[in-house]
Amino acid sequence: MPTPAELTDWDLRHFWHSFTQMSEYEPMVIERAEGSWLVDVHGRRYLDGVSSLWCNLLGHRHPRIEAAIVEQLGKLPHATTLGMSNVPAVELSRRLAELAPGELNRVFYASDGSCAVEAALKIAFQYWLQCPTPRQGKTKYLAYDSAYHGDTLGSTAVGGIERFHALYKPLLFDVLRLPPPDARLGDASHHLALLERALHRHHEEVAALVIEPLLQGAAGMVLQPPGYLRGVRELTRRYDVLLIADEIVTGFCRTGRMFACEHEGVTPDLLCLGKSITSGTLPLAATIASDEIYAAFLGDYASGCTFHHGHTYAGNPLAAAAACATLDVIADERVLEETVPRLAEKMARVLAPLRDHAHVADVRQMGTIAGVELCSDRDGGIAYPANQRHGYRVAKQATSQGVWLRPLGDVVVVMPPLSINDAELELLGHVLRESIDAICQ
């Protein structure tokens, strides 16, 4: 059994971490977890304030989800889904179709959110070549500045965060851009007017619009004005453009509904899911298509209209079993009806004192998702210089006090597992306030 010192050394020597400047990385090797807590190899405990990057929905090591994985492991750990099915993936497909809005009945699996978006982009492109009235000119996508949809080349192309995507621009296809639909910068009618102008001009060449419904996650939990998503759906229908909803962050109860689209009665043409789908236990994602889109891919072999796309572990039975168990817990423990409203209200109370803090520009919250935006001077509306990395330093200070947080620039994200109790949430809020006080002076 390796010692903590050996693991720390190997971590530095061999493990290249995602989104991490390795020259300044300080090892933090997690050994185990329980409920809302992570425990490292030295026995130090950390309250997981961001659900292990927004995916551990129901808490670490939920016994029912673990039991489902163990039971499935004794039956079938893996089988390809190319030309065959497995029991958990079939069951999950039915259940997702029943939960998804409208006629979203056809589930295509991937292993992560980036690949779910990648599949949606390719499906939208191919649909316009094979639909009853083909439109070969529809080869472009409409997306938003400050959007984040993943890190494969297609999902990177429709993303709009410079620090993540600018370097790879020579590798990416061109995308038509809209300003972020930030509620602070205008109401729904203002942003919809910008969208309609773009659609009027470009609809004949646009295959699909890609949107994070209700809030842009990696942009800093930026909220959209009420009515905007519903207006987007109406305009995309009017101009014959498909709507791809990226609910990898917002799906599965986080916003107060099973899917964020439901808040405004919207059914997209393609719905992308990931992260919380297995409550953070195993890699799985899904792209759910409408019956109309699916029908365009049906034909005999000679037609060539098959969707030639897929991943080795897509629809893995262990992951599908974990997802089915996650849905069971959500239903049986009344997570959507009771847990989320209670936790959202408690989060709002815990974060309320920060709204008057001299170095907090904004506290944005939707359901159990929140972002605390730091600033140099709230009254003067003065932001910190980005190179001072106040968000990073506040999160680092919080970690030293036993609360694991991760920032988006100078926005500190708060998105705990739904297993968090009131005392733990109070601790999170207390440590966050003290950390802001310690760093932002």
- Annotated binding residues, written as ranges, equal 113-114, 148, 246, 275, 310-312, 406
In this structure, what are the phi and psi dihedrals at residue 413, rounded to the nearest 5 degrees?
A: -85, 140
Token couple for 62: 């939920």
Within a 13 Å sphere around the CA of 67, how many CA atoms are in the beta-carbon half? 6
Q: DSSP alpha helices (H): ranges in 131-244?
A: 153-158, 162-165, 188-202, 228-238
State the binding site for substrate.
148, 275, 310, 406
Whose structure tokens read 């330093």?
393
State the binding site for pyridoxal 5'-phosphate.
113-114, 246, 311-312
Burial letters 279-288, b for 16+ CB under 10 A, else e: bbbbbbbbbb
Token couple for 252: 């599965």
In this structure, what are the phi and psi dihedrals at residue 23, rounded to the nearest 5 degrees?
A: -70, -20
**Sheet bearing 285-290, strands edge to edge:** 104-110, 285-290, 270-273, 242-246, 206-211, 140-144, 176-178
Question: Cα(277)–Cα(213) distance, rounded to whole angstroms?
Answer: 17
Question: Cα(191)–Cα(209) distance, rounded to whole angstroms?
Answer: 14
User: What 3-state DSSP class applies to 343?
Assistant: helix
DSSP letters for 304-332: --S-----TTTT-HHHHHHHHHHHHHHHH
* Angle between helical axes of 340-351 and 422-439 (0-180°, round to 10): 30
Are 152 and 165 in contact, with CB atoms under 8 Å apart?
A: no
Question: Cα(269)–Cα(70) distance, rounded to whole angstroms?
Answer: 35
Burial tier of 65 (Cβ tally within 10 Å: 0-12, 13-18, 19+): buried
Are 319 and 283 in contact, with CB atoms under 8 Å apart?
A: yes
Are 179 and 192 in contact, with CB atoms under 8 Å apart?
A: no
Q: Which run of H or of E encompasses 211? A: strand 206-211
In this structure, what are the phi and psi dihedrals at residue 34, rounded to the nearest 5 degrees?
A: -160, 130
Are 368 and 343 in contact, with CB atoms under 8 Å apart?
A: yes
